[in-house]
Amino acid sequence: MTKHKIWPFIQIMSKNKNLLPRQIGDAHIRLLRIFKTVVEAGGFAPAEVELNISRPAISLAMSELESLLNMKLCLRGRSGFSVTEQGTQVYQSALQLLTSLETFKSQINAINTDLIGDLNIGITDNMVTIPQMRITQALSTLKHRAPQVIINIRMMPPSDIETAVLDGHLHIGVVPDLRSLPGLNYRPLYKEKSLLYCSDQHPLFDQELEHISDQALSQYDAVLPNYPQPVDIKQQQTMLKVSATSSDREGIAFLILTGRFLGFLPTHFAERWVSQDKLRAIGEHSRFFHTHFSAITRKGAMNNLILDAYLEELDKA
């Protein structure tokens, strides 16, 4: 961990005379991780799920950190949650410290010829049903090859995965090819087909769906994703009457299954309901689009033997 990375936090810690500034142990790191999650989640309640600890435990940890630093880091009450000015500074310094720790781990992994350490992966939602299973097969082979590797998977929106790979919080991510960022390397993985579906509760379900007109479709409510999509995919959705949005494909499936909405889903994800005759595709030979997915890594990142091993297995899968 370099001196310039840790120094902002040392300066903050040294303001409290009861805590030696250079004695930052695991307990302090744990408190900072909790604080970071609380800030990013926007409060104690939403941080419960992310941290998998109770709200009282989060509150206790935050009080302990505030006591150690002799600062008020956040405000919580009837008016809602907010971060103080000092809390914002501590958050930024904590980010530097935690990122430096991850960099240190990666550097040690690069030095150590044994595959021991963590592999942090970010994956876009609902990809486990893709038949090729390259991600799964590569993880299986890596774990067989290096039993001591700890695999940490986070399901995240594509933009969050890109950011986390760029700032070093994730070693690798799997995202749709919606854009190409100059700081990332891209490895093509999958081509995913999506069709327009209605459920067995929808008025269209028992009709002839192969040649239904755009005008007829425009009479029915539809759900669309609220994340960025390429122009060619958006063109497929122009005929729909948009009255709902979702941040992920599972949310779209929920609304389609109500019988009140039409919507596009990946064929591999919809198959479970199609096989049960709960979903039908509308105009499957004319209303479809393909989404390409890639594995992303940061350009110029420190050599990491665990990541290299996983990429090697991913290329073979």
Mean pLDDT by runs of 10 across the 317 residues of the chain is 46 46 72 89 84 86 88 83 90 86 70 75 87 90 90 90 90 90 92 94 92 90 86 83 91 96 95 96 91 92 86 88
Instruction: Determine the pLDDT at residue 165.
Output: 92
Instruction: Determine phi and psi for 292, rounding to 5 degrees.
Output: -95, 140
Instruction: Determine the pLDDT at residue 19.
Output: 44
Instruction: Determine the pLDDT at residue 108.
Output: 67
The pair of three-digit structure tokens given for residue 102, joined into one six-digit string: 């991850």
How much is the pTM?
A: 0.62
Instruction: Determine the pLDDT at residue 260.
Output: 96
Distances (CA, A) of 81 to 10, 40, 44, 51, 76: 27, 12, 8, 17, 5
* Residue from 106, 103, 99, 105 nearest 32 by CA: 99
Instruction: Determine the pLDDT at residue 10.
Output: 46
Instruction: Determine the pLDDT at residue 7.
Output: 46
Q: What is the CA radius of gyration of the chain?
A: 24
